[in-house]
Amino acid sequence: MKQAIVEAGRPTLVPLKRRHADDVVALFADPVISAHSGVDLPDPDLARAMVDNRLAYEGPPELGHRVMVRENQVVGPAHLRPSKELPGDLPEIGWYLDTRFGGSGLATEAARALLRHGLDELGPNSVWALAHVDNTPSLRLAERLGFLVVGRGFHYNGPHRVHVSLPGRA
């Protein structure tokens, strides 16, 4: 099974490809986005390395990195891949949204569709999400998606809330 395109309403989640790299690097360069990443992503070399790392993903083929596309424009990257930070080889979901689209509901639509795809179609018993403790929009989104807060930890070079979603909660 290869990574599927996930229809999410207004955005579509498509597998991340080399042709998306410049758009994602530019998005990561936004200081608002990089503030919660634990890496100085306004440095274009670090942002490019992060994108290259995502392009080199070698995990289960049905999981991986995607971009949210709306009207042929990349509005943010997202992932559903095995967690490198949490135990159990369970999938971890994550999202970044271009700040120009904040408050539009695009991240909610995309994350909800990706979470449902993961839980309903791929069948793990749960999905992790990590949100930086100061990233209020992501914390609110995790709550809207029905994630349960199960703790805090130091992940991705910073303090994060640990969330879990179970089948039937998305």
Outline where the chain has alpha helix (H).
21-28, 31-34, 44-55, 106-116, 136-144
Q: Tens of pLDDT along 128-148? A: 999 999 999 999 999 999 999
Residue 150, both tokens: 């199960």
Banded model confidence at residue 47, pLDDT cuts 50, 70, 90: confident
Q: Tens of pLDDT along 10-33? A: 999 999 999 999 999 988 888 887
Banded model confidence at residue 41, pLDDT cuts 50, 70, 90: low
Task: List, as one string, the DSSP characters of 21-43.
Answer: HHHHHHHHTSHHHHTTTSS-TTS
